[in-house]
């Protein structure tokens, strides 16, 4: 079965939403810490614009990455695992097939 056409039962949908939200929260915490560190190093206006550019780029990247369509979740979860924002224990309760595919694909990023 294609990962795009995989079916998600109601229990899996709840687990997926929680895992997605956990990963997002972890990435936002990392982003906030990075911004705080960068802000302490601001010396001039050029540094401010560099920070602004960084934030704009990160926002585009994050907006593209966090796509909560069931047809995309396997790939999203794989990338988030590779990026260390999602962990296998976050996926507990999903079907064995889904977890295996996510784990396999995460090594391809």
| Rounded Cα gap, residues 42 and 38, in angstroms | 7
What pTM did the predictor assign? 0.91
Contact 65, 76 (CB under 8 A): yes
Q: Please report where in the chains the tokens 């934030």 appear, as a residue.
A: 55
Mean pLDDT of the chain: 95
Q: How many CB atoms lie within 10 A of CB 98?
A: 20
For 4-8, what is the mean pLDDT? Answer: 88
Q: pLDDT digit string (tens) for 13-36?
A: 999 999 999 999 999 999 999 999
Q: Which H or E element spans position 17?
A: helix 10-40
Secondary structure (3-state) at 9: coil
């Amino acid at each position: 079965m294609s990962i795009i056409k995989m079916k998600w039962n109601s229990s899996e949908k709840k687990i997926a939403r929680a895992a997605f939200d956990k990963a997002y929260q972890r990435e936002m915490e990392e982003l906030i810490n990075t911004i705080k560190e960068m802000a302490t190093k601001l010396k001039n206006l050029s540094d401010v614009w560099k920070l602004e550019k960084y934030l704009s780029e990160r926002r585009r990247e994050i907006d593209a990455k966090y796509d909560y369509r069931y047809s995309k979740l396997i790939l999203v979860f794989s990338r988030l695992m590779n990026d260390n924002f999602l962990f296998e224990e976050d996926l507990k309760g999903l079907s064995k097939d889904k977890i295996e595919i996510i784990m396999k694909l995460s090594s391809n990023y």
